[in-house]
Structure 1
Amino acid sequence: MDGKHGASRRQMLLGGLGGAAVVAGLARPSIASAAVTPAAVSPDPVRRAYAFLSAKFDEFGSGSDLRVPRSYTGGFFQTPTWDFVSSFAYDDALVIMAWLAGGDVRRATILGDTLLYAQEHDPIGDGRTRASYQPDSFTTLNGSLDIGSPAAFTGNQAWVGMAFAHLYARTRQKRFLEGALAEAEWIQDRTYDVVRAPYGYTGGRNAADEPNTFKATEHNIDVGAFFTMLASLTGRPVWRQRARVAFGFVEAMQDASDGHLWTGTDPDGVTTNTRPIPEDVQTWAYLATLDRRYSRSVDWTLANLAATDAGITGVSYSDADVSKVWLEGTAQTALALRARGSAKAARPLLAAIEKAQATTEHGDGRGIPAASSDGLDTGFGDLYHASLHTGATAWYLLAAKGWNPFRL
């Protein structure tokens, strides 16, 4: 199974189930420019989306204070009896990249330093970061952390590592490269599997610090992209060699008949998990490699995951439920289309996200909701809701800016 699907890079709440998906009731070894084909995008929705991220960032601190933004706002996550404030490391990595795409190096650096603080003050202290943190963790700076989900999924580590890599590439501040290398060594030491074919990287550690023995296509895309960045930044060929292992797993997960990618393997690390089929691995494989073979997976997404709900048309999370629109995945698809030179095809998807920004039930006219309406079933045992989401907002900004997070 994929690490995010049922236990993921953003998976959340007390059991370590991640931030992008919510339990009911409660990324080719070559470096190219991160910029892709330009497209005309109205600046107003972009400005409003950046204003949302800034407001979330300043909710628990100001100025140069170390802090993280809550991941979800409104609706399901804020009721008279419950205010869910957890901040997911995957979302935070995306926010850093969105700010770098928009030229806000100051905020990106502060958030990057916050994640470095979390890494350096982790109770285990082996280079990992956790799936989520509570924003008040960083107000006293006494060396302790309020960890929301203690899980350490492989994909999460790679996303935080990619954020550090982008920060180092932009600022040349060595601490960010050191943080990225610590994340990478953690991944290599604890998840590398060349015993059970198809070879690749396993799912990391769960909330009880037990090994996840499945291999996720998503995680291996993330690792391949991250290690490719490190090869470029350090000049060490070993990282490119390791990236090839991760991308080899991704290649093994592509179905020959129609080009889509499977989720990954079962816990035996061998048997392919074929249900459901998620969106993100389809578009991420292309974004991470720019390999034409994965253009077919982008086409599969458009043909099989199209969804319309609440006046919004985009793509859904997986083939398990196409009754609602997943805004984060819609932005990922738009960016993949732009990356392959189809700016015209991307424009309707961006317009749909902007419509959701303006009309969502729990909206503020600035943030992007996770789903077009409550109750989007991922097919992996969790639901998305129409609450505003920093991750979805950041993906929209990356798509609107044409900024590929998987490439330096």
Structure 2
Amino acid sequence: MFGPLRRSAPWASAAALILAGALSAGAMAAAEEPDQGSLLDPTLSVARAYEFLDARVDEFCDGDGHCLPRSYQGGFFTTPTWDFTPSFVYDDALVVIAYTARGLPDDIRRARTIGDTFLFVQANDPIGDGRTRASYEPHGIRQGRVEITGPGTFTGNQAWVGMALARLFHATGDQKYLDGAVRVAQWIQTNTADMVRAPYGYTGGQLEDGTSLVWKSTEHNTDIAGFFSQLAQLTGDTVWADRAAVAANFVTAMQAADGHVDTGTLLDGSTVNTYPVPLDAQTWSYLGTGDARYGAALDWTLAHLIATDGPYSGPSISGTDVSKVWFEGSGHLALSLTLRAGPGDAASAESLLAGIRLAQRDAPNGDGKGIVATSTDGLDSGFGDLYYASLHTGTTAWYLLAAAGDNPFALPSN
């Protein structure tokens, strides 16, 4: 089985981690209806979520203004004998974009510390060709050095780092961030563009030893479509718009007759990989391209991927396991529905956001501020990894973006 590597995925074993209208009526009826009056006020909830991110960013900083927040904490990841601290760049990129969404002076300052760290690890990579890696050790950053914990260079990760740097340039006007984003984009173009095997698009990236991942991922190509479109806007160079169109056309080729979007291709780069069907291929296709055709994928999601787990109802990661709620997915599904703004979408989005706020208050291993990744431990993504009910910077950032109605795949209009 080949498909997108889940970029901030806690793998099934600790060893692998170190190495590497409204919601569906049936789901809502099965879930215990929360007392809306007892939920956190949305404004207070957002403020507390930002407090969570602030504490994580400030925890691991060096004397030169470089900071990286650990991605996961609590539960499975924090025991008396083991504390898993790596920082996944996908999560970090989301934190940067969430800070720019609110845009207070301290938000931009913290966003810069992460952006400057992206430039630091990019400039000090052992290969040094513009790439970043999947994850780094924040303890190393605090000591002024680059310690790679996830050495793979996956295409989607690169695009997310690029989008974070593009956002920082948009927010600050500081040229170094745009220069760093262009270096990332050039790495993607040089190392992953596939204009030989139709449908044309971008492959999965490279492993530590330089081996190319020759399958193509819908998720990754959606990331590229958003990132390269931003570069075209910021640089005025239409070549990036042309390349964004290649990625977007690949996503179109992955849409099935019933509206859902498949995960990508097999190793031949052409044969569609039809299992499992992941949530983010549905929501990100809509967010990353702005194409109304993917509204059908959102409707498919509401009909097929909604999970109920005790008091929680929301999307799962894929059709493989719909026994638990993936709160990161609740965030980008809520954002997608908010932006689509069709009949019933506002109510559905608010139900999802209310579910996240309930988890913020009550979920296992929570702290009343951050958002846990899943409603309970052991959610099987279908891609070889498990997710846990542990506090997660990426999930918290997606919640904040959804609450703000801010699409990370597009630059703000102001």
Same fold by TM-score greater than 0.5: yes
Report the Cα offset of residue 300 of structure 1: 0.7
Report the Cα offset of residue 110 of structure 1: 1.2
Alignment of 1:288-367 (within 5 A): 288-341=288-341, 342-367=345-370
Q: Residues 384 and 243 (structure 1 numbering): CA distance in 2 closer, same or farther, change over 3 Å?
A: same
Report the Cα offset of residue 137 of structure 1: 2.1
Report the Cα offset of residue 400 of structure 1: 0.5
- Rounded to whole Å, the distance in 1 between the matches of 2:149 and 2:309 is 32
Alignment of 1:96-107 (within 5 A): 96-103=96-103, 104-107=107-110
Q: Which has the higher helix share?
A: 2
1:385 aligns with 388
State yes or no: 1:270 paired with 2:249.
Answer: no
For the residue of structure 2 that corresponds to 1:156, the secondary structure is: helix
State yes or no: 1:22 paired with 2:3.
Answer: no
The amino acid that maps onto 1:23 is A
State whether residues 93 and 164 of structure 2, in contact with CA within 8 Å, keep that contact through their aligned partners in structure 1: yes
For the residue of structure 2 that corresponds to 1:201, the secondary structure is: strand
The amino acid that maps onto 1:288 is G
1:279 aligns with 279
Give CA deviations for 1:284-319 in whole Å, capped at 9, x if unaligned: 111112211000001111110011113111110000
The amino acid that maps onto 1:236 is D
Report the Cα offset of residue 170 of structure 1: 1.0
1:90 aligns with 90
State whether residues 360 and 369 of structure 1, in contact with CA within 8 Å, keep that contact through their aligned partners in structure 2: yes
- Rounded to whole Å, the distance in 1 between the matches of 2:10 and 2:66 is 26
State whether residues 309 and 372 of structure 1, in contact with CA within 8 Å, keep that contact through their aligned partners in structure 2: yes
- Rounded to whole Å, the distance in 1 between the matches of 2:279 and 2:181 is 27
- TM, length-normalised to structure 2: 0.89
For the residue of structure 1 that corresponds to 2:149, the secondary structure is: strand
2:221 aligns with 220
For the residue of structure 2 that corresponds to 1:212, the secondary structure is: strand
- Rounded to whole Å, the distance in 1 between the matches of 2:367 and 2:63 is 24
Q: Residues 222 and 2 (structure 1 numbering): CA distance in 2 closer, same or farther, change over 3 Å?
A: farther
Misfit runs of 4+, over 4 Å: none
1:208 aligns with 209
Q: Residues 63 and 300 (structure 1 numbering): CA distance in 2 closer, same or farther, change over 3 Å?
A: farther
The amino acid that maps onto 2:392 is H
2:137 to 131, 134, 137: 134
Report the Cα offset of residue 138 of structure 1: 1.8
The amino acid that maps onto 2:87 is S
1:146 aligns with 147
Unaligned runs of 5+ in 2: 16-39
The amino acid that maps onto 2:70 is R
State whether residues 2 and 218 of structure 1, in contact with CA within 8 Å, keep that contact through their aligned partners in structure 2: no
2:22 aligns with none
Report the Cα offset of residue 62 of structure 1: 7.4
Q: Residues 95 and 205 (structure 1 numbering): CA distance in 2 closer, same or farther, change over 3 Å?
A: same
State yes or no: 1:116 paired with 2:119.
Answer: yes
Report the Cα offset of residue 208 of structure 1: 2.8
Report the Cα offset of residue 209 of structure 1: 2.5
Give CA deviations for 1:121-165 in whole Å, capped at 9, x if unaligned: 111000000000000222233xx4100111000000000000001
Percent identity of equivalent pairs: 56
- Rounded to whole Å, the distance in 2 between the matches of 1:2 and 1:60 is 35
1:373 aligns with 376
Alignment of 1:110-259 (within 5 A): 110-141=113-144, 144-256=145-257, 258-259=258-259
Report the Cα offset of residue 406 of structure 1: 0.4
- Rounded to whole Å, the distance in 2 between the matches of 1:343 and 1:164 is 31
The amino acid that maps onto 1:66 is H
Report the Cα offset of residue 388 of structure 1: 0.5
- Rounded to whole Å, the distance in 1 between the matches of 2:210 and 2:84 is 24
- Rounded to whole Å, the distance in 2 between the matches of 1:63 and 1:260 is 48
2:36 aligns with none
Q: Residues 284 and 106 (structure 1 numbering): CA distance in 2 closer, same or farther, change over 3 Å?
A: same
The amino acid that maps onto 1:270 is S
For the residue of structure 2 that corresponds to 1:116, the secondary structure is: helix
The amino acid that maps onto 1:182 is R
- Rounded to whole Å, the distance in 2 between the matches of 1:124 and 1:237 is 29
For the residue of structure 1 that corresponds to 2:68, the secondary structure is: coil
- Rounded to whole Å, the distance in 1 between the matches of 2:272 and 2:306 is 25
- Rounded to whole Å, the distance in 2 between the matches of 1:322 and 1:264 is 21
The amino acid that maps onto 1:115 is F
- Rounded to whole Å, the distance in 2 between the matches of 1:64 and 1:187 is 29
Give CA deviations for 1:95-120 in whole Å, capped at 9, x if unaligned: 00011111121111111111111111
Aligned length: 381
State whether residues 20 and 391 of structure 1, in contact with CA within 8 Å, keep that contact through their aligned partners in structure 2: no
State whether residues 3 and 383 of structure 2, in contact with CA within 8 Å, keep that contact through their aligned partners in structure 1: no
- Rounded to whole Å, the distance in 1 between the matches of 2:86 and 2:111 is 19
Give CA deviations for 1:181-209 in whole Å, capped at 9, x if unaligned: 00000000000001111110000012333
State whether residues 255 and 262 of structure 1, in contact with CA within 8 Å, keep that contact through their aligned partners in structure 2: yes
1:35 aligns with none
The root-mean-square deviation of aligned C-alpha atoms, in Å, is 1.5
- Rounded to whole Å, the distance in 2 between the matches of 1:126 and 1:365 is 41
1:47 aligns with 47
1:69 aligns with 69
Q: Which sits farther off after the overlay, 92-101 or 102-111?
A: 102-111
- Rounded to whole Å, the distance in 1 between the matches of 2:208 and 2:362 is 37
Report the Cα offset of residue 403 of structure 1: 0.5
Report the Cα offset of residue 3 of structure 1: 5.3
